[in-house]
Amino acid sequence: MTVAEEAEKYGLHRVGARPSLVDYLKQTWSRREFIYELAKARVQSQNDRNRLGMLWEVLKPTFNALMYGFIFGILQGGAKGPDFPVYVVIGVFLFEFFTSSMTGGAKSITGNTALVQSLAFPRLALPVAQVTQGILTLMPMLLVMFIYAMILGTTPKWTWFVIIPLVLLFSVFNMGIALICARITVHVRDFTNILPLIGRVLFFTSGVLFSVDRILNQWPWMVTAFDYHPLYQTLQIARAMIMDNAVYEPRAWWVVGIWAFATLVFGLVYFWKAEERYGRAD
């Protein structure tokens, strides 16, 4: 009998061995309290490091909305459309959640080397905690976003509550992106150096600051391509639910939903396949 067979006989398993995907998910779920507490502790720690605390999480997208809104408002002229300030605020605030999930997820394994090497737990918990942290940060940001919308003249309505299922779908999509980026960074550490560039490219090409129908109407094929853009369609749904004059195609929900769950499934399997590698992170 080989050593491996002898170990199997007595229920001994190799340290860091990858469990089945179902067991992996069960182990992660059993640590849901740890994930939440870790996310909450990081939010508190992040606020403690800032003199303005949680207020800074709101001021950052506010300053971005003011700066980019002013610049792109001038550049677009009459093509920017009605209620442009609210349009920009919604885009910038929601895109901030995506950015934090992508960049935070990328560093969730490599940035916690001591934790990964010293404790036995499914590494999936780390990127999940990162996205959970983003959700906790997003909650007050959404409240402020609605306040800004009212200050800028938007009438409150029941459709504002649709932001809840939309944020849930958006969180699923961001989770998949975070898992993909987390594994890539383990294999290619320099990936974190180009993430800011990727984030900026997505920021300027996802309709955060402009309406595709107005700016790209001379290129119908580009407008059609944006019909399948998950970030753009997420923002379009949010704007249609919040703003007074914005509209969207109902099939946008299908686009966002399919992208969200397809990205999550791919990201989950892609991340799980390298579970044994994470235990050797250095």
Task: Kindly give the parts of the chain with pLDDT less than 50.
Answer: 3-12, 281-282
Tell me the per-residue pLDDT of 236-250, one tens digit each, with 9 for 90 and over.
Answer: 999 999 988 777 888
* CB neighbourhood size of 61 (10 A): 22
Q: What are the residue ranges of helices labelled H in the chain?
A: 3-9, 21-30, 32-49, 55-76, 84-106, 113-118, 125-151, 163-187, 191-205, 212-215, 220-226, 230-242, 252-272, 275-278
The Cα–Cα gap between 221 and 196 comes to: 28
* CB neighbourhood size of 12 (10 A): 11
Kindly calculate the radius of gyration of the chain based on its CA atoms and give it in whole angstroms.
21
Tokens read off for 277: 């590698």
The Cα–Cα gap between 53 and 57 comes to: 8
Amino acid code (one letter) for 225: A
Torsion of Cα atoms, 46 then 204 then 210 then 72, to 10°: 80
Contact between 170 and 98 under an 8 Å Cβ cutoff? The reply is yes
Q: What letter would DSSP give residue 119?
A: S
Whole-Å CA distances, 67 to 27, 154, 195, 209, 229: 45, 21, 22, 11, 25
* Three-state DSSP class for residue 116: helix
Whole-Å CA distances, 183 to 88, 104, 173: 32, 12, 16
pLDDT score at 225: 87
Tell me how long the chain is. 282
Tell me the per-residue pLDDT of 66-119, one tens digit each, with 9 for 90 and over.
Answer: 887 777 776 666 666 678 888 899 999 999 999 999 999 999 988 888 888 777
> Chain-centre distance of CA 245, in angstroms?
27
pLDDT score at 11: 47
Q: What letter would DSSP give residue 229?
A: -
pLDDT score at 54: 66
The Cα–Cα gap between 81 and 239 comes to: 13
Contacts of 234 (CB under 8 A, 6+ apart): 94, 166, 169, 170, 173, 256
The Cα–Cα gap between 223 and 125 comes to: 38
Tokens read off for 181: 């980026």
Q: Token match 């992170």: residue?
A: 281
Tokens read off for 50: 């800032």
pLDDT score at 3: 46
Tokens read off for 232: 């753009």
